[in-house]
Structure 1
Amino acid sequence: MFSEEHPMWIDILRMKEEAVKLHADSVAGSVRLGEIEVGYHDTGAPGDGRAPIVLVHGTGGSTEAHYRTVYPMLAARHRVIGVDAVVDAVSQLSDLVHQVVAVIEARSPGVPVHLVGYSLGAVVAAALAGRQPVLVKTLTLLAGWITTDKQQRLRNHVWQTLFSGERRPLQEFQTLLAFSSQFLRTRADQDLEALISSRTFRNGVDREMQINYNVDIREDVERITAPTLVVGASEDQMVPIRHSYELLGGIENARLAEVDAGHAVTTERPAQVFMLIDDFVRTPDGVPAGATVEPLMA
């Protein structure tokens, strides 16, 4: 066995550190909240007073998993903070909201943030914006929803059944539903297999799925005051595009962008997601409330 001083072991440790470094300027750290440590990746230097873009990941994910391409694009122009939620002990949506609030208050004290959420992270972000509007300068919701409907609950039931058995059927099921048909059918066989086999399920993902099953943030959505960009994916099978239109109608100062992709929009169309977020946080009123953002080519 190698000791920690052995050159090969040092190289292995260095590779592990580099694997989670999302940008040359990003620093990984954590914020204590009760008995847990909530992780973050922040490109801001000490004393950086810019309003940061705060990224909240979705079910079973992390900043690296759901924003690995979008994060460095945004970091080229903005200060970016990615929140890595601790899900092992969560039991309700409020637990995730509190974790994001803790990171915002620790890393951007007194400076409202540009809050971005993807999938369940969009639900968390919307709930936070409704409950603590003073913390949010703008809000971007990627593939989010207000209330879980029967179609989503049926998928959730199938997921729970597969989760109790062997992993391969669940990996295939998740891959099938996460991506658009065009994306999947244009992958080479080895690339498709890599998508399937690389899908992992971290501790606590079943708790997140239970939160997904019970989402109802209608009261929170009604209280959102921040300028909001809703981004829906036209081929989304997990959170169909109708949910984005419901968010558009439920938030007073919202506008909608529709992207040709499946639920994994940050993976299928990262450049478009970057451009939408970048344009919106720089000029939130560039597209009037209630309007549709012109399609972007990327």
Structure 2
Amino acid sequence: MISRGWLDTYGRLAPISLRTAPVISIQKLQLVKVGCHVRVYSHYQFKCSENFMKIHPDAVRGSVGVGGAEVTYYDTGRPGAGSPVVLVHGTGGSAMAHFRTVFPMLAARHRVIGLDLGRAETFEGLVSQVEEVIAVRTFAEPVALVGYSLGAAIATAVAARRAVTIDKLVLICGWAKTDSVQRARYGLWHRLYAEDHDALKIFSTLMSFGQTYLDARTPTDLRALIDARTFSPGIVEQMRINENVDVSGELEYVVSPTLIIGGASDQMVPIKHSRLLFGAIENSRFAEIPTGHAATTERPAQVFKLIDDFVRELPHTTPAGAVLDTAAF
């Protein structure tokens, strides 16, 4: 039998209805671990392209034009239908790439809006895109804004500038100001992108995942992780934006209750950056989880629980300045 769910390229199961997954081909085979999007339990494999996979059965897809860019959104509600959780992905990603594991879990309890950032040459352009989608889809309702990696820096700026109402803020593996080590890494990324995409896939994979997660992969699994990596349109511009991120001067203006989640083994954005955010944002709480940078892939259930608890009740039960005990979940 085939499970009611899909398997991402990293072997994580996320629940969706099979009716929503367009089937490209069906093959009879033995049970193997493969980088496909529908889990195999016995004799059949459904091969589906991520480009055609719907992120959630209830999500309506649309787009908003901002400064000449088209910003795609996926909304499980409708304008005016209640305060949503808004998800902002990281560099070169998308709602599907960075939130496909947690989107279905969050959607079981909240209205969720995921978005795919459009092309932009500047950090300010990306901030404007998020502000516009929130304004168009929420009718000025307060939102819980969740940002991952570069998306965390964008979400910080959105919350600080208050052009839209941010009721709660969650920053996952984020940073306030690019340091010299990050800048050197981005320089190497650009060099490999220009000269050797295969080497860049290996480099990016090793930088994205924590050692514990990688140690648990077989050589075949690790090769599949590397081969599954792609470089989306706009990633070069976003990587250049990464080199000059600096929202450090705006942190004092973030007044929304904030949860900061850092990965203990994050090599791409070391956890010291999350601790700096925690120290600078007055109304914040901090959670450290045992992951590398790819937190939503390595520990999706834990990330979901942290977000869900925070959005529903944590600001009222846990004071600012608290360090959460994540050992219990």
TM-score of the superposition, structure 2-length normalised?
A: 0.83
> Whose RCO is larger (CA < 8 A, sep 6+)?
1
In structure 1, the residue matched to 2:41 is none
Residue of structure 2 in register with 1:230 after alignment: 260
SS in 2 for 1:257: strand
Is the contact between residue 140 and residue 164 of structure 2 (CA under 8 Å) also seen in structure 1?
no
| Residue in structure 1 matched with residue 161 of structure 2 by the alignment | 131
User: Deviation above 2 Å: which 4+ runs of structure 1?
Assistant: 15-20
The farther-off stretch of 157-166 and 64-73 is 157-166
Tell me the residue number matched to 1:263. Answer: 293
After TM superposition, list the pairs within 5 Å mapping 1:183-198 onto structure 2: 183-198=213-228
1:153 counterpart residue number:
183
The Cα of 1:285 is off from its aligned counterpart by 2.8
Alignment partner, residue 100 of structure 1? 130
The unaligned stretches of length 5 or more in structure 2 are: 1-21, 25-47
Partner Cα separation in structure 1 for residue 255 and residue 153 of structure 2? 16
2:197 aligns with 167
Equivalent in 284, 302, 309 of residue 272 of structure 1: 302
1:33 paired residue number = 66
Cα distance in 2 for partners of 1:238, 1:152 equals 8
Matched residue type, 2:256: A
More helix by share: 1
The 3-state SS of whatever aligns with 1:232 is strand
Task: Kindly report which structure 2 residues correspond to 1:19-58, keeping only aligned pairs within 5 A, or say none.
Answer: 19-45=52-78, 47-48=80-81, 50-58=82-90
User: 2:170 corresponds to which residue?
Assistant: 140
Contact 2:189 2:200 in 1 (8 A): yes
The alpha carbon displacement at 1:141 in A equals: 0.1
RMSD (Å) for aligned C-alpha atoms: 1.9
Matched, 1:288 2:319: yes
Q: How many residues get paired? A: 286
Residues 175-186 of structure 1 correspond to what in structure 2 (within 5 A)? 175-186=205-216
1:239 aligns with 2:269: yes
Q: After superposition, what is the alpha-carbon deviation per residue over 1:181-212, rounded to whole angstroms, capped at 9, x for unaligned?
A: 11111102221111101111112211111111
SS in 1 for 2:217: coil
Report how far residue 45 of structure 1 moved: 3.9
SS at match of 2:317: coil
Aligned partner of 2:116 in structure 1 is: 84
Does the 8 A contact of 1:133 with 1:224 survive in 2? no
What is the identity percentage for the equivalent residue pairs of Structure 1 and Structure 2?
51
AA of the residue aligned to 1:29: G
| 1:117 lines up with 2:147 in the alignment | yes
1:201 counterpart SS class: coil
**Aligned mates of 2:52, 2:67 — CA distance in 1:** 28
Q: Write the deviation string for residues 241-281 of structure 1: whole angstroms up to 9, x where unpaired.
A: 11111001110100100000000001000000000000000
Q: What amino acid does structure 2 have at the position aligned with 1:204?
A: G
Name the SS of the counterpart of 1:164 in structure 2.
helix
Is the Cα contact below 8 Å between 2:170 and 2:258 reproduced in 1? Answer: yes
The equivalent position to 1:59 in structure 2, one of 68, 81, 91, is 91
- Alpha carbons 1:133, 1:225 under 8 Å: kept: no
Q: 1:47, CA displacement in angstroms?
A: 4.5
For residues 160 and 287 of structure 1, the distance between their equivalents in structure 2, rounded to whole angstroms, comes to 42
Give the match's secondary structure for 1:69: coil
Q: CA 1:221 to 1:291, structure 2 compared with 1: closer, same or farther past 3 Å? A: same
Q: Is the 8 A contact 1:280 1:286 kept in 2?
A: no
* Residue 203, structure 1, aligned to residue 233, structure 2: yes
Gaps of at least 5 residues in structure 1 are 1-9
Give 1:41 deviation, angstroms: 0.6
Give 1:35 deviation, angstroms.
2.4
Task: Name the aligned partner's letter for residue 131 of structure 1.
Answer: R
